[in-house]
Amino acid sequence: MRGQSVLRKQTSQFIAENPTDVVITRQVMKDDGAGGSIPDGPPSSLDPQRVRVVIKSLNQQIEFRTVEGEVLKPEYSIVGEYDADIREGDSFTYDGNRIEVVFVFSIGDYERRAEAVRRG
């Protein structure tokens, strides 16, 4: 586990070099009975979380298609601690823009990373 603690420390240091405190808005969804989903009540705001928002250069933006057929080209990488509470569909405000998380993955057990797009 020594390696894991070193990697977690490096992630913390990376975030601390250029931290951003974000308040994530989450819309909980429920089954609509017809194979889709609908909102389950109003969106809620989570407690602030410290992450690092990395703006991707054009050559770092990889295009992909969602299950619904939408073509996305994430403009941001969000780097959080291993236990960051961030999910696909979450949104937050950054630099005056609404940012929506479109993909989330964990790297080992030391870092949580998300890809995000600007929605306005």
> pLDDT tens digits, residue range 32-53?
889 888 888 899 999 999 999 9
Looking at residue 94, what is its pLDDT?
A: 95
Q: Does domain 2-118 have CATH number 2.40.10?
A: yes
pLDDT, average across residues 3-20: 94
Residue-wise pLDDT for 60-110, tens only, equals 667 777 777 878 888 999 999 999 999 999 999 999 999 999 989 888 889
Query: Structure pTM?
Result: 0.83
Q: How far apart are the C-alpha atoms of 104 and 46, rounded to whole Å?
A: 17
Where are the domains positioned within the chain?
A: 2-118
pLDDT over threshold 60, residue 1: no
